[in-house]
Amino acid sequence: MRKEFLSYNPPSIGDGERLEVQETLQTPWVTTGPKTVAFEAALKGYLEAPAVVALNSCTAGLHVALVALGVGPGDEVIVPAMTFCATANVVEHVGARPILVDVCPDTLTISPEAVRAAITPRTKVLLPVHYAGHPVQLDELDELAERHGLAILEDAAHAISTRYKGRLIGSRPNLAAFSFYATKNLTTVEGGCLTGEQSLIDKSRIIGHHGMNRDAWKRFDRSGSWYYEVVLPGFKYNMTDMQSAIGLVQLKRIEAFQKRRREVVARYEAGLKDLAALELPVERPWAESSWHLYVVRLQPGALRIGRNDFIEELKNRNIGTSVHYLPVHMHPFYRDKYGYRPEDNPVAADSYGRMLSLPLHAGLSDEDVDDVIQAVRELVFSNLA
């Protein structure tokens, strides 16, 4: 058994990030300024995006996007039940109703069939989530959106470097929101961005910065002017140069991060694929996952212990894990407000009860991964039903 606890997903922060932050502290700009402009340009190039605005979270990106798309009271937004609560919360924030639908049994991404059945005359936006880094079936959603005159807003919190049929998530003209939270494949500690066509990003930039028509660094720079106007009631969602300094270095390391994640996934696959008691994550032939999460599910009735005990036993063996996620329709707020029952989205509910996420990050050594595999195998073989 391991002597030291293996954290589930710590950030990979190195000397390069620390030096970039120190350099930023020595400049006149620590809030939104030239480093953020540079980070946006670097993201635009990496993601092959039409345009980018950096924000203080993916949640901010989703909120701003819904405002930019004109979503409000009386509207419906279709959201997968298997996602972090923020995906649905932002719909509530604009006064619309999140319509929670089920997911595909293999990838746990939104089910196009469930989306099709949920569309009504009040539907305005489809909000799919690239769960765990696996892309959703965008062609099917595009067809539905075109037929019914709907917008698509992608929750790409897990999806930096994800590709759908060879094309990077974030490269399309529709809006897509990314997360750079501490546990993500690329981190700015807190932060995120929104990609999409230039006109939508220009509008989103204003919405995300108080509704002001000029950024502070443009006003206070030597060549700038103090004058600005508020053109709409916006929010305080801008990213700082401190965050962007970290992001600029992280973006240079992202390919190395992704290479290591794929190596870890391959090692897990080789070490666990013979265990009939486990359902391992999949990658469809047309997909290139970012492998943000490695979610395994216990097969029903295969073991004498359940998911919660499995997690505790791994913790006793110094292996950290997590669960992604309690389905949105099972949270008290959504359950009580809309009368949802677990069986309303059966794939999400069933998967939640038997899923756990194994450690997956670029800092894992082969020995770390082997320790996880050994602990999982020991637990499975000692608890077979």
Q: Are the C-beta atoms of residues 319 and 294 closer than 8 Å to each other?
A: no
Would you list the domain boundaries of the chain?
Answer: 15-251, 254-382
For the chain, give the mean pLDDT. 96
Cα 342–chain centre separation? 23
Please identify which residue in the block is written with the tokens 């998911």. 307
Q: Which among 257, 264, 55 is positioned nearest to 161, based on CA atoms?
A: 257
User: Which residue out of 3, 184, 203, 273 is catalytically annotated?
Assistant: 184
Active site residue 184: yes
Segments in the chain below pLDDT 70 = 214-226
Model pLDDT for residues 153-204, shown as the tens digit of each residue: 999 999 999 999 999 999 999 999 999 999 999 999 999 999 999 999 999 9
For 15-251, CATH number? 3.40.640.10
Whole-number Å distance between alpha carbons of 358 and 355: 10
Model pLDDT for residues 139-152, shown as the tens digit of each residue: 999 999 999 999 99
Q: Are the C-beta atoms of residues 322 and 10 closer than 8 Å to each other?
A: no
Residue 316, pLDDT score: 97
Residue 1, pLDDT score: 81
The top-level CATH class assigned to 254-382 is alpha beta
The residues facing 126 across adjacent strands are 78, 152
